[in-house]
Chain A
Amino acid sequence: MKLAIAAIEILSPGLKRFTLAGAELPWAGPGSHLVLQIPGPARVWKNAYSLTAAPNGAYRIIVRRVGHSRGGSAWLHDHASLGDVLEVEAPQNFFNPPRSAKRHLLLSAGIGITPFLAYLQIPGLAYELHHCCKPEEADAFQALLPPGANAVLHTSRDAFNLHELMAKQKLDTHLSVCGPDSFMNIAVTAAKSLGWPMAKIHLESFGGATGGKPFSVRLERSGIAVDVGPEESLLDALEAAGLTPSCLCRGGACGECRMGVLSGTPEHHDHYLSDAEKASGKFMMICVSRAVTPELVLDF
């Protein structure tokens, strides 16, 4: 669908909020994200952004300007202007608030707060939000929180005792984490060591792991070879080559883009495959995962 940029707000030097408007927008619940098609000099970027709100007739997202941008965020920050029309895929939700939870412990870092801004609008939700951010962005994030929010901003790692916070939670609480991979790994490792069952740990990742060492892939059934550059994902590279592998979340969460690996060793960055599947090296999620070996042969 085509949506027009109806508002642009500067929240901080690195954060902008966009309001996208259109007629008869599909309903999008808390935790949903949008995939935007963003024009670039050589190709179109597809980036996923969590919805912070979905009022009638509009979707709201917050975009961070990434230093080593894959392309999308830089264009949105530097070139997008009011009235621009973007091609947007219908919202998907892989980060619904868990229904069996009576209480929610929400942990976010940086731009990872965005899905939780939507959670906080759920009437009567029993939650406790802990958000980690740089001191210079604390005011911007504080301003995004609704009045009376049960939220704590942490601007220093030393002052935030994550272990203690997780250890004292009750049995009816679920943990939801959103942020960069390094943050999520710390949180998941701490939770597991404290006996949190995986069924009560919910993760949403985005973007962070799409760049890395360049490598090449050979597609066995398609009979073509594609090079993956340091600042694009394998999925990006296949799309740039004119292929249309199925995918939804572009963040390693949904499982839609799972591809068989016939030879070579994948480097996993997703949160979908089980540890055993990752260790087997027989499958990979092409939206976020890369290669250890210089070449991969894929079943596609």
Chain B
Amino acid sequence: MSKSRPPYVPFKLDPTGTMHLVVTSLAAIPSELDDALTEVELWTVAHAGPGIPAPAAEHLHPFRSPTELLAQLESRLGRAAIGLRLYAIGSEAFIWDAANIAVAAGLGRGEIFTYQAGPKLRRVYCTHCRTMIEDVAVNVVPCPACKASLFVRDHFSRRLAAFMGVRVDAEVPGEIPAPEEFTT
């Protein structure tokens, strides 16, 4: 793993916590984690059908989108008492968006845990015009705003929760390599 990517450790609940809040950008917790997640408050993104999804159980809250979930996270953390541990599971963009909200709410080292899971889609930051491009699956992508063809570097910014995209044909305009799908 390069130093330009955040390191991730295998998922487990922190036994020193007294309250566990798990948020995920996925519809359900990855099956390999199921056993670890008993007695937690679980927020998912699972929208089937019209209207606002109803809580499936007291401790299970489905949201319509990651954006809606993250919008609720700040106030949830603002009401919480010490002892809460936050676990963010999903795309790198989502888990670092969640981590950044948590840091602003006062959580720190030992209270936030991240776990990358789900499709290998990246949020890409156009370093030329600062546009964010969501859900990118391949390593060469056109910027929808400034039209530059961007090469997605293996360089993740935790602050922006995005990968750096730099113009791929800066040396020879028009020379654009074939895109490759992300595997990590």
A contact set with B: CB distance below 8 Å: 100-102, 166-173, 192, 194-200
Contact = CB atoms under 8 A, between A and B. Distances in A.
B108 interface: yes
B82 A194 contact: yes
A166 to B, nearest CB: 7
A195 B82 contact: yes
A199 B109 contact: yes
A197 B110 contact: yes
B106 interface: yes
A199 B111 CA distance: 9
A168 B82 CA distance: 7
Question: Which of A194, A195, A199 has the most CB atoms of chain B within a 10 A radius of its CB?
Answer: A195
Given A100-B108, A197-B109, A199-B109, A170 B16 contact: no
Contact of A166 (B16, B19, B82, B85): B82
11 contacts: A167-B82, A169-B82, A170-B106, A171-B84, A171-B106, A172-B105, A173-B82, A197-B16, A197-B108, A198-B110, A199-B109
B138 interface: no
B132 interface: no
A104 B78 CA distance: 16
B82 A196 contact: yes
Contacts of B110: 197-199
A51 B16 CA distance: 35
Contacts of B81: 167-171
Interface in B95-150: 105-111
Contacts of B106: 100-102, 170-173
B123 to A, nearest CB: 26
Interface string B1-37: 0000000000000001111000000000000000000
Contacts of B105: 171-172
A15 to B, nearest CB: 33
A140 to B, nearest CB: 32
Contacts, number: 56
Contacts of A200: 82, 108
Interface in B33-47: none
B16 A171 contact: no
Contacts of B77: 171
Range for the number of chain B residues in contact with chain A: 10 to 19
Contact of B83 (A101, A172, A195): A195
Contacts of B78: 170-171
Contacts of A196: 82-83
A170 B83 CA distance: 9
Nearest to A195: B83
B80 interface: yes
A44 B105 CA distance: 49
A101 B84 CA distance: 16
A101 B106 CA distance: 7
Which 9 residue pairs spanning A and B have beta carbons closest together? A172-B106, A195-B83, A197-B110, A195-B18, A171-B106, A199-B109, A169-B82, A195-B17, A199-B110
Interface in B49-92: 77-78, 80-85
A181 to B, nearest CB: 22
A195 B80 contact: no
Given A169-B82, A197-B110, A198-B110, 10 more contacts: A167-B82, A170-B78, A170-B106, A171-B111, A172-B105, A172-B106, A195-B18, A195-B19, A195-B84, A197-B108
Contacts of B80: 170-171
A169 B107 CA distance: 13
Contacts of B18: 194-195
B62 to A, nearest CB: 24
Contacts of B16: 192, 195, 197
A88 B161 CA distance: 50
B104 to A, nearest CB: 9
A195 B77 CA distance: 15
A199 to B, nearest CB: 4
A102 B82 CA distance: 13
Contacts of B83: 167, 194-196
